[in-house]
Chains A and B, each alone.
Chain A
Amino acid sequence: MKLADRHRVAFGALARAPLRTAMLLLATAIGVAAVLVLTALGEAARVYIADEFQSLGTDLLVVMPGRTETSGAGAGMMSGATPRDITLDDARALLRSSAIATIAPLVVGESSVSVGSLERDVTIMGTTASYATIRHWTMASGEFLPDVDMDRESPVCVVGSTIGSELFRGEPPVGRWLRVGDRRCRVAGVLARQGISVMVDVDTVVMIPVAMAQSLFNSAGLFRVLIQARSRDVMPAAKRFVLATFRQRHHGEEDVTVITQDAVLQTFDGILGALTLALAGIAAISLLVAGVLIMNVMLVAVSQRTQEIGLLKALGARRSQVLALFLTEALYLALLGALAGVLAGFAGIWLLGNLYPAFTFRPPVWAVLGAVLLSMGCGMLFGILPARRAARLDPVAALARR
């Protein structure tokens, strides 16, 4: 039997049972589309986070209190013992290294902020002028915090664009005064709008000098110290220097954690990569379900077409020919279903992209290829049982079936 004929017969059989064919195509398509959409989601999350961290700069080190064995995001907060505070003096000591270009101490807390009778609870970030340099932040208007000694509590602040226009009812905030807790400060500038960056909504923060934040929250300890190395190459030297400095200042104890962009990125990458895989796995299960469905429907098809199989054998069809015919049918179902699924998947991804333009939705190539191959594999695997059953039918009994 010619290959083209085998395909023609298989296709004819599928075309003549449109409902059955449509159901199977749908099942397979849903599975494949699910793989594409879910992996695209996972990838979007991964790329988004990676971009976020990339925007911080790759020459950045972050010091946080507490010792941890593993490097990575948030790891410092997981250690048990209460670590010694990182003080402003500690931070200042870091500037002695030639590997370090600049540092920015950071204190974070919540406080009420008010202008007249208008009051809001906002995130307060206490830092210095170099923070804007390190984060590459730009201003919508006015200036960032003044470049003065970090001990000084100059009564100035910088507001995020949203909180600025809320508090001042749309009037220009620069030069106006606002209340942070029990303190007053003059607005030096408004941050350019940039949305959520590294989990903080920049548009709704109020930034004040680090010393003011320390007394506002009544704590000498810093939340983080951001360090910009002079170049990527001196990052290891900078890190060694930071650790040595803290060991010396903290009586020989290495009770801080220094994380680099790479480490954070790798951790997130790892977590999100695993997430994408898990999503792909979940979607793959739906493909298996589709495979089982194909098997069941093919088994029904075999029993419905028992007479036809008996006839083919009476006409001289070999077992292998009958087997090939039914396998071709199953393969067709899988292939067409996969194609439909790829189309549907990309349509869904396009839709997601329009709904959430901030994210880049793109299914990884391995997921697309994998989904198509897996569905073909399922088609074959689950097609074999019915096809073998067909091939082994006893022609006399098959023909006698009414």
Chain B
Amino acid sequence: MIVKVWPTVSPQSRSSPTPDAVAILRLEQLTRIFAVGDQFVRALDGVDLSIGTGEYISLMGPSGSGKSTLLNILGLLDRPTSGEYWLAGERTSTMNDDRLADTRQREIGFVFQFFHLIHRMTAVENVELPLMLAGVPMAERRARAHEVLRRMGLEARVDHRSNQLSGGERQRVAIARAVVMQPKILLADEPTGNLDSVSGGEVVKIVEALHDEGLTLVVVTHDQAIGSRAHRRLLMRDGKVVQDVSG
């Protein structure tokens, strides 16, 4: 259902979130068309979606159905070809490049399938990166990065470079990096796709713990077991959301 008049976002409640809590993301007739040679690929084909603050959502669907495309647009890494996207009540289509970057920095955390740690940096330096970009002074950001890594159970790994870490540890460092700025939204694109089931399980536990603290969580996954843990499960096919199941 599309709400025409958009309520202003009130401070999010830290108690158990309900699906119809204050909506933080809203998409309206969103399309994303890629030009490939003289062909056009409709990666997203009219998506209407509203996500409330503190929701826990899984996004599933066959390969090529548009999951990553949707996630990238939600994360302001990509812009839709048409349609509207409101983030925290603000129209994103009018934001300029710097504004998009700043919003990304403040509001959104990303977790990727391939971790994307910078190899030449240690775990704690990787986690410090967003704080550094935001201009947080050295001492403060080191303390904050240490704190988040500790919560990920990585206090013994802070000074290791990524090639000295296991896959599961790398992904936990990446999650620490994604949440160290205390964003409202965590977007994860197949976060367990490159992990064994044990490490994958740990990663799921961690993001769910973060969700319990109020983080809005969107997880793209091919793993039915993981997908079914979400409170709201979206199924995509051919660029459309074809199923939206809550509870």
Binding site for B on A (CB under 8 A): 1-2, 4-5, 9, 12-13, 16, 307-308, 310-321, 394-396, 399, 402
Contacts and interface: CB of A to CB of B under 8 A. Distances in A.
Contacts of A312: 129, 133
Interface string B69-81: 0001001011000
Contact of A316 (B78, B105, B121): B105
B56 interface: no
A301 to B, nearest CB: 12
Contacts of B95: none
Which 7 residue pairs of A and B lie closest in terms of their CB atoms, listed nearest first? Answer: A316-B105, A16-B120, A318-B101, A316-B104, A315-B130, A311-B116, A395-B77
A319 B101 contact: yes
Contact of A317 (B110, B114, B133): B133
Interface string B113-128: 0101010110000000
Nearest to B107: A316
B165 interface: no
A283 to B, nearest CB: 35
Contact of A318 (B97, B114, B132, B138): B97
B132 A1 contact: yes
Interface of B: 72, 75, 77-78, 97-98, 101-106, 110, 112, 114, 116, 118, 120-121, 129-130, 132-135, 137-138, 177, 181
A315 B134 CA distance: 10
A313 B130 contact: no
Contacts of B135: 1-2, 5
A276 to B, nearest CB: 44
22 contacts: A2-B137, A12-B121, A13-B120, A307-B116, A308-B118, A313-B101, A313-B104, A314-B77, A315-B104, A315-B105, A315-B133, A316-B103, A316-B104, A316-B181, A318-B97, A318-B101, A319-B97, A319-B101, A395-B77, A396-B72, A396-B77, A399-B77
A34 to B, nearest CB: 33
A126 B77 CA distance: 91
B116 A1 contact: no
A319 to B, nearest CB: 6
B116 A316 contact: no
A316 B120 contact: no
A316 B135 CA distance: 12
B133 A1 contact: yes
Given A1-B132, A13-B120, A319 B98 contact: yes
Contacts of A318: 97-98, 101-102
A315 B129 contact: yes
B102 A399 contact: no
A313 B98 contact: no
Contacts of A314: 75, 77, 104, 110, 116
Nearest to A12: B120
A394 B132 CA distance: 22
A2 B132 contact: yes
A262 B166 CA distance: 80
A236 B58 CA distance: 100
B137 A399 contact: no
A316 B118 contact: no
Contacts of B103: 316
- Chain B CB count within 10 A is highest, among A4, A16, A316, A319, for A316
A156 to B, nearest CB: 84
Contacts of A399: 77, 112, 116
Contacts of A9: 132
Nearest to A394: B78
Contact of B106 (A1, A310, A316, A319): A316
A316 B77 contact: no
A310 B75 CA distance: 13
Contacts of A307: 116
A310 B116 CA distance: 9
A198 B129 CA distance: 68
B101 A316 contact: yes
Nearest to A15: B120
B77 A317 contact: no
